[in-house]
């Protein structure tokens, strides 16, 4: 949020006599962070009890609206506390209270050269107090009402700035005065005021709704404990495109790899993506590996799409190449994530996981247990078996954002079993609430699917909570994550033609 306040009266540049009938005027504009005007915002001057509403251009004005105390003297200024005028060195003043009229005069350097206390109404010859030629600033006040003006003299007052003019005494802000801005869908903003003649250009921040579980779409980053600190993680080996680390999980020493953005800033919260390998592969294969069908680019193709360096990439290494250790593997993930949050600047609301085959099974397992720590998962050829969940899992009913890419001719991780078992389970969790407050039976919605021997179809489910989207992508291939639109892999295909990384990147970037 940014606030621009420009004061109309200041020590360096005081107003000449004004012809405004109000004792004060507050003007300004209200817009959002993108500079779009906010219409209908309520503007409240708290101590004075004055209000205004912004117009189509987001602009507002608040005037003083007090009882007339000087109409008999000068009807043009009926809303003012008093009236002042200077002509050829003679100050005319009037006010109806019993308080004295205070007159102070300052030279161009801001030094006070004259002070006088006057009663009631009348005139005063300023030549009694000022003899030297120059430019001066006068301040005339009655209680909290005040007028400032500038005049020049050649020593004889033959010429003055603002001659033949009159002005209202301007009211100073009461102690603890503040102006408050309220607009639906935006955070309320309160600004303290020291003067009531002010122009304010205010930007309001959109209010982010809060939920019992999960985040609003496009929520502000949630910085981890490691933001603003230097990492204490110690790499055990430097490898191409990253570093190798180790962590003790129970009695096991587990390996994991990190690839940092080139210009890492420990005050900027980064998105975090875990890549989980398939059977027969290793975590190190995502960090450096000769390009092949399974590893065309690092981290399932996501690193090359991170054009602005917004992500930290991590890969975990399974014991013996298999994610079959149950709670131990879950603890490995959880402890690694905690270490990263404690040492690096992570956006804890944007932690993603992705995996193929056995890595997809492990991702599917984690995403049903770690919804409070994982925002979304993308799996490739998930199988609805070899899926472990801890006993008494208290997250089993919570929704989780999920995308799955699956070949319809997959002979290892059966497509129909994934579609008819793994998919409905997540749809049921993610079901939206209709206008009557009832849960929609999202698990009954069927995805559109690819037909024939080429192409692909990605289907976004309609009956799920928009905060927890589900996407199902089908293609006519076999057990392979680098899906393509040109038929089977043995018909002139190469891994550079896969559409999967870009679809997954868009899926993650919607948050």
| Nearest in space to 156 (alpha carbons), one of 88, 87, 86 | 88
HSE-CB at 31 with a 13 A cutoff on CA atoms is 13
Q: DSSP readout, 23-61? A: S-EEEEEEEETT--B-TT-EEEETTTTEEEE--TTSEEE
| Nearest in space to 362 (alpha carbons), one of 385, 395, 342 | 385
Q: Is 339 left (phi over 0), alpha (psi -120 to 50) or beta?
A: alpha
Same fold, 3-66+174-204 and 87-166: yes
Encode 219-253: b = buried (16+ Cβ within 10 Å), e = exposed: bebebbebbeeebeeeeeeeeeebbbbebebeeee
Long-range CB pairs of 266-269 (<8 Å, 24+ gap) are 266/226, 266/227, 266/228, 266/229, 266/230, 266/231, 266/344, 266/345, 267/227, 267/228, 267/345, 268/227, 268/345, 269/221, 269/222, 269/223, 269/224, 269/227, 269/345, 269/346, 269/347, 269/348
| Residue 274: strand pairing partners | 314, 353
For the stretch 461-498, pLDDT in tens is: 999 999 999 999 999 999 999 998 875 545 555 567 89
Round to whole Å and give the CA distance between 226 and 229. 5
Model confidence pTM above 0.85: no
Residue 48 C-alpha from the chain's centroid: 33
Boundaries of every domain in the chain: 3-66+174-204, 87-166, 237-509
pLDDT score, position 345? 98
pLDDT score, position 82? 60
For residue 92, CA distances in Å to 95, 166, 282, 297, 396 come to 11, 9, 91, 84, 81
For the stretch 27-45, pLDDT in tens is: 999 999 889 999 999 999 9
Residue 400 C-alpha from the chain's centroid: 23
Low-confidence ranges of the chain (pLDDT < 50): 1-22, 66-80, 158-166, 168, 489
User: How does strand 311-316 pair with strand 90-94?
Assistant: unpaired
Contact 217, 198 (CB under 8 A): no
Contact 429, 399 (CB under 8 A): yes
Round to whole Å and give the CA distance between 446 and 268. 41
For residue 167, CA distances in Å to 91, 144, 331 come to 12, 16, 75
Q: DSSP readout, 64-99? A: --PPPSSTTT-GGGTTSS-EEEEETTEEEEE-SSSS
Strands (E), 357-476: 376-380, 401-407, 457-460, 470-475
Round to whole Å and give the CA distance between 401 and 361. 15
Helix (H, G, I), strand (E, B) or coil at 326: coil
pLDDT score, position 350? 98
Q: Is 67 left (phi over 0), alpha (psi -120 to 50) or beta?
A: beta
Round to whole Å and give the CA distance between 132 and 129. 10
Degrees to nearest 5, angle at CA 10 with 48 and 167? 65
CATH of domain 87-166: 2.60.40.3080
pLDDT score, position 170? 54
Fold classified for 3-66+174-204: Immunoglobulin-like (2.60.40)
H-assigned helices in 403-463: 415-417, 423-430
| Nearest in space to 121 (alpha carbons), one of 135, 141, 100, 140 | 100
CATH of domain 237-509: 3.40.50.1820
Helix (H, G, I), strand (E, B) or coil at 185: coil
Q: Over the Cα atoms of the chain, what is R_g? A: 35
């Amino acid at each position: 949020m940014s606030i621009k306040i420009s004061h109309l009266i200041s020590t360096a540049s005081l107003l000449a006599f004004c012809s405004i009938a109000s004792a004060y005027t507050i003007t300004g504009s209200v817009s959002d962070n993108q500079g779009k005007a906010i219409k209908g915002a309520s503007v409240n001057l708290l101590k004075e009890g004055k209000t205004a509403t912004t117009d189509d251009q987001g602009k507002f004005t608040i005037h003083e609206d007090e009882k007339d105390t000087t109409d008999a003297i000068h009807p043009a200024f009926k809303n003012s506390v008093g009236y002042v005028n200077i002509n050829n060195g003679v100050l005319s003043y009037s006010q109806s209270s019993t308080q004295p009229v205070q007159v102070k005069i300052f030279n161009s350097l801001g030094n006070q050269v004259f002070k006088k206390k006057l009663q009631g109404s009348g005139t005063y010859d300023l030549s009694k107090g000022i003899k030297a030629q120059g430019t001066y600033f006068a301040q005339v006040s009655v209680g909290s009402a005040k007028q400032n003006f500038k005049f020049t003299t050649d020593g004889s007052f033959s010429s003055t700035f603002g001659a033949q003019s009159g002005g209202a005494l301007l009211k100073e802000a009461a102690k603890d005065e503040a102006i408050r801005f309220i607009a639906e869908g935006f955070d309320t903003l309160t600004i303290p005021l020291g003067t009531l003649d002010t122009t304010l250009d205010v930007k309001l921040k959109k209010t982010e709704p809060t939920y019992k579980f999960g985040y609003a779409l496009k929520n502000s980053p949630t910085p981890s404990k490691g933001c603003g600190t230097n990492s204490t993680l110690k790499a055990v080996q430097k490898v191409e495109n990253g570093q190798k680390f180790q962590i003790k999980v129970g009695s096991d020493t587990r390996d994991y790899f990190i690839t940092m953005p080139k210009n890492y800033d420990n005050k900027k919260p980064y998105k975090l993506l875990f890549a989980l390998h398939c059977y027969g592969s290793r975590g190190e294969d995502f960090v450096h590996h000769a390009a092949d069908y399974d590893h065309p680019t690092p981290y399932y193709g996501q690193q090359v799409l991170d054009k602005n360096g917004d992500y930290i990439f991590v890969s975990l290494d399974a014991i013996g190449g298999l994610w079959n250790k149950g709670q131990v593997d879950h603890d490995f993930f959880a402890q690694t994530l905690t270490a990263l949050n404690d040492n690096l600047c992570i956006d804890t609301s944007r932690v993603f996981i992705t995996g193929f085959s056995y890595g997809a099974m492990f991702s599917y397992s984690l995403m049903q247990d770690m919804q409070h720590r994982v925002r979304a998962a993308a799996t490739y050829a998930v199988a609805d078996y070899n899926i472990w969940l801890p006993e008494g899992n208290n997250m089993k009913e919570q929704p989780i954002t999920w995308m799955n890419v699956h070949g319809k001719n997959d002979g290892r991780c059966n497509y129909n079993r994934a579609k008819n078992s793994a998919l409905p389970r997540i749809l049921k969790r993610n079901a939206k609430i209709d206008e009557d407050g009832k849960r929609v039976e999202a698990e009954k919605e069927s995805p559109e699917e690819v037909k024939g021997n080429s192409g692909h179809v990605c289907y976004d489910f309609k009956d799920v909570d928009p905060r927890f989207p589900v996407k199902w992508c089908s293609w006519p291939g076999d057990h392979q994550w680098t899906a393509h639109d040109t038929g089977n892999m043995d018909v002139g295909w190469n891994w550079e033609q896969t559409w999967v990384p870009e679809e997954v990147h868009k899926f993650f970037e919607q948050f």
